[in-house]
């Protein structure tokens, strides 16, 4: 359904007097396109599948009709009537707060339920009775499993940012929750994109839904983009110095600096404060009180730099951001687009600056494929550039002071010194004092940063987005990689060992969700996952492996801390895998092959020891047998990996491993003495 562009009001959409009064108090005058197209259908109880980006007003689009359809009596409800599922705790708080505001004249009780909040506090609120629960899928499942969130009274279910929830690994959780709600419910699904996975969920759980699509506004032909996009190629070790140099060159009125992990946010904000910047940290580890305090300082201008993770910054609505700085390149091109959308608002110009490590430049190409826009790759400003910029700022400040006047009382100082010094020398000394007072002799001014030449563009024009004319990929395919590409097709793959497996209840979805949530890595960029009894192995792009390790170490999987490190063994090397605790024998289908290979190795080694010391041929035979045993072990491990993905292939791999091991166990053939 295409949006109606004729002028309408909330009253004409069917919104009642109580909600209209609140909307007037909040300054809502005219509904947005997504609200115009959604509200009338939702008021009648229809299911709806809506495609709209963040910031289009979709919270009010589903919240207003949901609130109006509630049956609110004098007594607290024994069961919630509506469930809103969102991907992150920050969005849960934002949606719950919005519904509180909209429904304050109706007496609506709204509860936000998410991880990191005391369980007992949520339990007490549920027992008192609420009309609406806004929850993250994981915590909702916890309450459902405990019997504390009762779904038999649910009349409306809303999935907000459904594509984000799937990217974070919540597909199974969503299926479980939706299947546990009454079949006669109203179901509303909003998503920025509609990939096949979303269509599949809609097909299973929505009944003849109304379809609403609100296209993103495009710039008029010839219009200059409001956001200037620049990428600087910087070695990782020099990123802090590069960031401060960029900040000094750009002199942002206010900026959001995005990092991948909580630890990186804390470390970077502390380093910036140590260098004299007013920087505040924002991430999921902050309490609500701390978060409010940080946002208050940033909105008031007391702090002009906000260092944040993507998850913590979701839903922020700040109009005055002049710069967005990507301290780390996001692995998902969609995340980049979402980040830079926070600058250049309300007709203002903005700047988006990205610090790119040399091996990460393929991520910038992914963004260009998605947006169809070229991101300028530039050399980092030099020390000379920085000094010239600071002198320019000092000159501008002096010019403003001269135009403002009020300097007459200082003439007596100039006149007194003019008998001893030249007037130009006096002026230069005054400028130096002003320059040192405002800019100082900062540490990073003298720090040399290795120059990395930007790579040449692949062509003279931006790469066409995938899925367009001439593309052989599937429609709407994510730009990060094609179906044939792996998670690190452009920059290598790292295998990470995680010290928790089946015995701890770990599932692939748990690893995907943790990595996507904590390291801001799209599920599309997560490769093969192996779940053993006491460990797991996951493949991620080499360029972000260290960030993923740090993120997983800082979080909990199934309520427990885990050890995370790189898998030390090369693929197929039983020795390296065992050294890191990742032995292919942990997987059931390849266990026999691995044992046989190991036995062959031991037998070969024994034969080598049993040979006569002076018999070089015997020693060589023992070594050959040992090598054969090792080959059996490697073959067994390969069978184990194949078995996880394909039982038949695993059986063949195990048989090959067993045969290799048997060959290794055969005693070495001794040559007769000459």
Q: Which residues contact 236 (CB under 8 A, 6 or more apart)?
A: 357
Which residue ranges in the chain fall short of pLDDT 70? 1-7, 54-55, 215-225, 311-317, 319, 346-347, 438-448, 450-491, 520, 522-524, 568-674
Q: Indicate the burial class of 392 (C-beta count within 10 angstroms; 0-12, 13-18, 19 or more).
A: exposed
Q: Left, alpha or beta for 374 (phi > 0: left; psi -120 to 50: alpha)?
A: beta
CB atoms within 10 A of CB 427: 13
Tokens of 162: 């459904």
3-state secondary structure of 135: strand
- Among candidates 460, 314, 476, which has minimal Cα distance to 374? 460
Q: What is the pLDDT of residue 55?
A: 63
Distance CA 512, CA 519 (A): 10
Distance CA 625, CA 669 (A): 10
- Among candidates 108, 165, 107, 103, which has minimal Cα distance to 140? 165
Distance CA 465, CA 618 (A): 63
Q: What is the pLDDT of residue 652?
A: 40
Q: In which order are the strands placed within the sheet that holds 110-113? A: 110-113, 132-135, 82-85, 156-159, 186-191, 48-51, 210-213
Distance CA 555, CA 551 (A): 7
CB atoms within 10 A of CB 541: 27
C-beta of residue 509 within 8 angstroms of C-beta of residue 543: no
- Among candidates 68, 6, 16, 69, which has minimal Cα distance to 36? 6
| pTM: predicted TM-score of the whole model, two decimal places | 0.47
Tokens of 221: 């032909």
C-beta of residue 247 within 8 angstroms of C-beta of residue 389: no
- Looking at 129-186, list the stretches that DSSP marks H as alpha helix, in order from N- to C-terminal side: 137-146, 162-167, 171-180
Place of tokens 């759980």: 205
Q: What is the pLDDT of residue 157?
A: 98
Q: Helix 171-180 to helix 508-519 angle, to the nearest 10 degrees?
A: 110
Cα dist. 166→209, 499, 513, 528, 586 in Å?
20, 25, 9, 17, 29
Q: What is the pLDDT of residue 668?
A: 41
- Among candidates 362, 422, 318, which has minimal Cα distance to 543? 362
3-state secondary structure of 20: helix
Q: What is the pLDDT of residue 590?
A: 41
Domain annotation for the chain: domains and CATH numbers: 10-213 (3.40.50.300), 227-380 (3.40.50.300), 384-446 (no CATH), 493-567 (3.30.70.330), 588-665 (no CATH)
Q: Helix 545-554 to helix 262-274 angle, to the nearest 10 degrees?
A: 100
Q: What is the pLDDT of residue 258?
A: 94
Helix (H) / strand (E) element for 93: namely: helix 89-102
Measured in residues, the chain has a length of: 674
Q: Give ∠ CA 536-537-543 in degrees, rounded to 5.
A: 140
């Amino acid at each position: 359904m295409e949006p109606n562009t004729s002028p309408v009001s909330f009253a004409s959409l069917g919104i009642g007097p109580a909600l209209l009064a609140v909307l007037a108090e909040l300054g809502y005058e005219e509904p947005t396109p997504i609200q115009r197209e959604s509200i009338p259908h939702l008021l009648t109880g229809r299911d709806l599948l809506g495609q709209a980006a963040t910031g289009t007003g979709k919270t009010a689009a589903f919240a207003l009709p949901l609130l109006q359809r509630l049956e609110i009596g004098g007594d607290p409800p024994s069961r919630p009537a509506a469930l809103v599922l969102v991907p992150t705790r920050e969005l849960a708080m934002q949606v719950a707060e919005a519904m509180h505001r909209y429904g304050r004249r109706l007496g609506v009780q709204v509860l936000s339920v998410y991880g990191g909040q005391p369980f007992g506090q949520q339990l007490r609120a549920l027992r008192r009775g609420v009309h609406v629960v806004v929850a993250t899928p994981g915590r909702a499942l916890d309450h459902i499993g405990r019997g504390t969130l009762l779904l038999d009274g649910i009349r409306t279910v809303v999935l907000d940012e459904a594509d984000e929830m799937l990217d974070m690994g919540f597909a199974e959780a969503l299926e479980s929750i939706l299947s546990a709600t009454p079949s006669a419910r109203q179901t509303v699904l909003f998503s920025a994109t509609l990939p096949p996975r979303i269509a599949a969920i809609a097909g299973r759980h929505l009944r003849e839904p109304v379809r609403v699509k609100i296209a993103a506004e495009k710039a008029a032909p010839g219009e200059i983009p409001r956001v200037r996009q620049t990428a600087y190629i910087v070695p990782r070790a020099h990123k802090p110095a590069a960031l401060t140099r960029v900040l000094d060159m750009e002199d942002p009125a206010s900026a959001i600096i995005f990092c991948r992990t909580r630890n990186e946010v804390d470390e970077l904000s502390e380093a910036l404060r140590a260098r004299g910047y007013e920087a505040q940290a924002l991430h999921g580890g902050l309490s609500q009180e701390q978060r409010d305090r940080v946002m208050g300082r940033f909105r008031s201008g007391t702090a002009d730099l906000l260092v944040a993770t993507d998850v913590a910054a979701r839903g922020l609505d700040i109009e005055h951001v002049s710069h967005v700085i990507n301290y780390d390149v996001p692995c998902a091109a969609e995340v980049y687009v979402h980040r830079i959308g926070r600058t250049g608002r309300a007709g203002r110009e903005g700047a988006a600056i990205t610090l790119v490590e040399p091996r990460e430049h393929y991520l910038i190409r992914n963004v260009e494929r998605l947006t169809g826009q070229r991101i300028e790759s530039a050399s980092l400003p030099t020390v000379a550039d920085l000094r010239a910029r600071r002198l320019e700022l000092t000159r501008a400040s002096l010019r403003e002071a001269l135009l403002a006047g009020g300097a007459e009382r200082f003439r007596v100082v100039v006149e007194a010194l003019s008998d001893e010094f030249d007037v130009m020398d006096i002026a230069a000394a005054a400028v130096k004092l002003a320059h040192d007072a405002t800019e100082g002799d900062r540490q990073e001014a003298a720090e040399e940063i290795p120059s990395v030449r930007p790579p040449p563009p692949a062509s003279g024009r931006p790469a066409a987005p995938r899925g367009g004319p001439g593309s052989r990929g599937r429609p709407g395919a994510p730009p990060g990689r094609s179906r044939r590409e792996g998670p690190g097709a452009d920059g290598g793959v790292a295998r990470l060992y995680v010290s928790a497996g089946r015995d701890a209840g770990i599932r692939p979805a748990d690893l995907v969700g943790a990595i996507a949530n904590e390291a801001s890595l799209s599920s599309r960029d997560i490769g093969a996952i192996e779940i053993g009894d006491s460990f797991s192995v996951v493949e991620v792009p080499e360029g972000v492996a260290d960030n993923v390790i740090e993120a997983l170490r800082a979080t909990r999987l199934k309520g427990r801390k885990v050890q995370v490190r790189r898998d030390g063994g090369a693929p197929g090397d039983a020795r390296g895998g065992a050294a890191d605790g990742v032995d292919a024998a942990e997987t059931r289908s390849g266990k026999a092959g691995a044992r046989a290979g190991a036995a062959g190795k031991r037998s070969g080694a024994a034969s080598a020891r049993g040979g006569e010391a002076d018999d070089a041929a015997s020693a060589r035979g023992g070594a050959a047998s040992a090598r054969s045993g090792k080959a059996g072990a490697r073959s067994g491990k390969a069978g184990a990996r194949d078995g996880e993905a394909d039982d038949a292939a695993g059986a063949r791999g195990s048989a090959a491993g067993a045969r290799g091991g048997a060959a290794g166990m055969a005693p070495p053939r001794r040559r007769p003495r000459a």
